[in-house]
Structure formats: C-alpha cells, structure tokens
Amino acid sequence: MFGLFSQKPQWNISSIPDLTGRVAIVTGGNAGIGFVTCRELARKGARVYMLSRTESRALAAIEQIKQELGPSVDSKLQYINFDLQSLKTGKKAAEEFMEQETRLDILVNNAGIMAMPYELGPDGIEIQACNGTGHFALTIPLLPLLKQTAALPNSHVRIVNVTSQGYHFARSVTPDFSSLERLNQKTWSTMGRYGLSKLTNILFSNELQKRLDRDGIYCVSVHPGVVNTALYRGAEHSWPFVTPLIRFLTKFYLTPEQGALTQLYAATSLEVEEKNLKAAFLVPVAKHTGKASLAEDKDGRLGGQFWDLCEALVKQKT
C-alpha cells in the first residue's frame, strides 16, 4: 500500500530527458528527496530554485550539489526563502522568483512535515495543515507564468504536489475545510491531521487541473514511498517511546534517491503527457494508481472548500 518495495526498473535517473533551458522550483530542497530532486534536475541542465526555510541549510545543500556535479552547475542553483508555515513567505517567494525569471517549467511542491504534536503556526494555522495552505500561497501567484510558459513551443509544464498514501488516515476524521476552526480541530489525532494535510495536497492537484486543463499544464500528485528521511522526526516528537523502533525500521525504507524517482518522473517524463496523467496519483516507482473516493472528490465539494478557505486565508494573512 505505501510503496515500500514496489519498483519500476525501466524508469530511473538516467531516464530524465535533457532539461537545458528549463526552469524549476523545488520546495524543501535542502534535504531528503527534495535535495535529490534539485540535484538531478540541475544535472540534466535545468535552472533550479531551492525554496527552503533556513538559508544556511539551503546554501550548504547547494554547495554540496555543486561539489558533486562540478562547476557546470554553478549558475543553475539559486536559493529563495520559503517557510511552509507562513503564507506571506509563499507569496513573497513567488514574487522574488518572478523578478528573476521569465519562465517556469516545473514546480515541485515537496516540502512537508509529519506527525508533529499539535501546534499553531504564525498564521494561526495548525502546522501540519500548512502542508497544504503553504503551497497554495506559493503556487497561485505563479500560475500566470506557468501558463505563459505552457504557451511556448515544445513546453512541458508540470505542477507536482508531493502527498502520501497517509491521506487514508483522513478517514478517521470527517474532512471539513469550510473554516479555519474546522481545519484546526485539536481533537483530531496527530496522524488524522497529517492525513488531512496529505488529502489537501491531492485535492489541490485536482482543483488545479480543472482550472489549467486548457492550458496544457499537467498537475500530478505523488506518493514517494516510505523513505528514510528526517520527516520521521515528527513521530519521534509525538511518540518518543517508539523512537528506537522507528530508527530500526528506517533501515528497510527506500533511500532518498529511490524516493525521489516518482516525483522526478512526474516532473520530467514525456510519458506523463503520452499517458494523459492529468490529476493522476502516482506511487513508486512511476506507477499510476487509483485514488480513494475521498481523494477523487468527484463532486468537487472538498476541493472547492479547501480552495476557498486558502484564498480567504491568503487574503487575510498577506
């Protein structure tokens, strides 16, 4: 279910096409699968903007990539500040990017937190819910540039929202995005709140695809698999007594290199268009699978609720 062992050996890092001239944004790119995504996009010739909260970590990650790939990528990696918990930084990051670039081919909304104890962020939004709201604040101002790029010859514009099979945990609650108070319910469990946030990532892809369908932009949701990254620090905070077990199990998880494959596929492979993977849900490695009815959201009720709530929050907080 969680894509721990499934593989698609015919698609790997070497399958990424030449990306010379393309421009990409990757959130949370300083570590884990985000780091691998930035590195491999740059390796293939893309100009990559690493959007992260902590400048020192991002710059260290960029330097590490440059050392691995050599001087040819010196001008291909840039840092922009982006804090998933701050709607203002999402809007500001988009504006800063557009001051520097005239196209955007790939947007990978990769940043996220998992299983953290209940806490409200600076905008009064529960911090796990920011997995969805923060990326909304960043993505919406970028839509005109994404559309402009999609209108260019030989363009392959993608929006990739990194989610999780953990969205199934949302079944333990009653999803309701009609108000901030409903989004922030403290009575929901830690994993229930995480599941809701990952559900919103899928709903966001659904809603984006509806609005961008005629523009030739492909919006894809990706479950990277169970990957050995720092994402599990949240679980250690919430349940310190299971920390030894978590650290033992991570030995059997996918590596970040393996975990990044499916989002790299979604961001770059021409198969996405050939197979018409609009609003698709992909699991490791690069496999299209169905969504539960909750995430399919055929009547658009939940997706519409989430979109409207995010619009209101961005207007209020920025």
Report d(CA 162, CA 109) in Å as an integer: 6
- 194 catalytic? Reply is yes
At residue 189, what are phi and psi to the nearest 5 degrees? -70, 165
- 317 catalytic? Reply is no
At residue 62, what are phi and psi to the nearest 5 degrees? -60, -40
Residue 163's SS3 state is coil
Asked if 61 and 69 touch (Cβ cutoff 8 Å), the reply is no
Report d(CA 72, CA 75) in Å as an integer: 8
Largest CA distance in the chain: 55
Q: Name, in order, each residue with C-beta under 8 angstroms of 248's C-beta and a sequence gap of 6 or more.
A: none
Residue 259's SS3 state is helix
Name residue 178's beta-bridge partners: none
Residue 188's SS3 state is coil
Asked if 62 and 79 touch (Cβ cutoff 8 Å), the reply is yes
Report d(CA 140, CA 90) in Å as an integer: 9
CA 237 to chain centre: 23
Cis-peptide into 285, omega within 30 deg: yes
Catalytic residue, from 44, 76, 92, 198: name it.
Answer: 198
Residue with tokens 């009720």: 301
Catalytic residue, from 44, 92, 167, 194: name it.
Answer: 194
Q: Name, in order, each residue with C-beta under 8 angstroms of 145's C-beta and a sequence gap of 6 or more.
A: 98, 101, 102, 103, 104
Of 159, 47, 54, give the one whose Cα is nearest residue 107.
Answer: 159
The amino acid at 309: L
- As annotated, the active-site residues are 194, 198
